[in-house]
């Protein structure tokens, strides 16, 4: 039997790349300067590096799925150019009430619903109980908690605003708060003894 491995799940916009609104053209994807190093650290620690992103702009008709594919290719290429790699990239292109078929539907993968993490659990033998989700929004933390993982909030993207104005009313605080993805990864790996 394959041994299950812990993963670090990462949100895309506001966590790996600048939050610029809808990335409706590949040229709008801009990685943070620390992103490649952070992913490389996860790789070297023997943890799975997995992207989980909601891209309802497809359901909304703001850009075609082919543009999303091209953006993801660019993301993978830029990370690979720095000697790092993602083990998987999962995306929810759906919206429950807006847009057109086949993207308009109640799905199980729109964060904070756990579908993408469950897929990773099955396909990549992830041990969710030893995994983390890093993101810039409360929904990323809820995603983690919905599967018994831990959630780290980064202050990039929407994170600073979520932390200052919304977090005081959350029923559960983030398991870790970090300036950015690199600091989050460093502290997670230190905590987990990697």
Q: Is 162 one of the binding residues for Mg ion (CB under 5 A)?
A: no
Prior bond of 160 cis (ω within 30°): no
Please, which of residues 152-191 interact with Zn ion by CB under 5 A?
none
Is 47 in contact with 88 (CB distance < 8 Å)? no
Hey, is 140 helix, strand or coil? helix
Residue of 11, 87, 136, 140 with catalytic role:
11
Q: Hey, what are 91's tokens?
A: 């995306």
Out of 88, 107, 124, 189, name the contact with Zn ion by CB under 5 A: 107
Match 């809808």 to its residue by tokens.
Answer: 22
- Segment near Zn ion (CB under 5 A), from 44-52, 107-115, 160-168, 183-191? 107-115
Distance of alpha carbon 23 from alpha carbon 33, whole angstroms: 18
Q: Is 143 one of the binding residues for Zn ion (CB under 5 A)?
A: no
Out of 8, 9, 13, 138, name the contact with Mg ion by CB under 5 A: 13
For residues 116 and 188, which CB has a smaller minimum distance to Zn ion in the complex?
A: 116
Cβ neighbours for 98, distance < 8 A, ≥ 6 positions apart: 56, 59, 60, 104
Distance of alpha carbon 82 from alpha carbon 19, whole angstroms: 21
Q: Is 92 one of the binding residues for Zn ion (CB under 5 A)?
A: yes
Q: Is 89 one of the binding residues for Zn ion (CB under 5 A)?
A: no
What does the CA dihedral 35, 153, 71, 86 come to, rounded to 10 degrees? 60
Q: How many residues of this chain interact with Zn ion, rule: CB under 5 A? A: 5
Residues 122-151 as x/- pattern, contact with Mg ion by CB under 5 A: --------------x---------------
Out of 95, 110, 150, 155, name the contact with Zn ion by CB under 5 A: 110
Which residue sits closest to Mg ion, CB atoms considered?
14
To the nearest 10 degrees (0 to 180), the angle between helices 35-44 and 181-191 is 20
Residues making contact with Mg ion (CB under 5 A)? 11, 13-14, 136
Contacts with Zn ion, residue ranges (CB under 5 A): 92, 94, 107, 109-110
């Amino acid at each position: 039997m394959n041994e299950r491995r812990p993963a670090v799940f990462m949100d895309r916009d506001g966590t790996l790349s600048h939050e610029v609104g809808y990335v409706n053209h590949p040229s709008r994807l801009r990685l943070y300067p620390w992103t490649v190093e952070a992913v490389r650290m996860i790789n070297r620690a023997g943890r799975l590096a997995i992207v989980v992103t909601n891209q309802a702009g497809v359901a909304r008709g703001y850009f075609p799925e082919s543009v999303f594919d091209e953006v993801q290719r660019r993301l993978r290429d830029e990370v690979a150019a720095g000697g790092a790699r993602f083990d998987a990239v999962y995306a929810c292109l759906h919206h429950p009430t807006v847009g057109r078929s086949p993207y308009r539907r109640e799905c199980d993968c729109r964060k904070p619903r756990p579908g993408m993490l469950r897929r990773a659990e099955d396909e990549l033998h992830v041990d969710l109980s030893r995994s983390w989700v890093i993101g810039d929004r409360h929904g990323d933390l809820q995603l983690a908690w919905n599967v018994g993982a831990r959630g780290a909030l980064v202050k990039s993207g929407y994170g600073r605003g979520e932390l200052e104005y919304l977090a005081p009313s959350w029923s559960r605080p983030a398991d870790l708060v970090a300036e950015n993805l690199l600091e989050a990864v460093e502290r997670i790996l230190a905590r987990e003894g990697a």
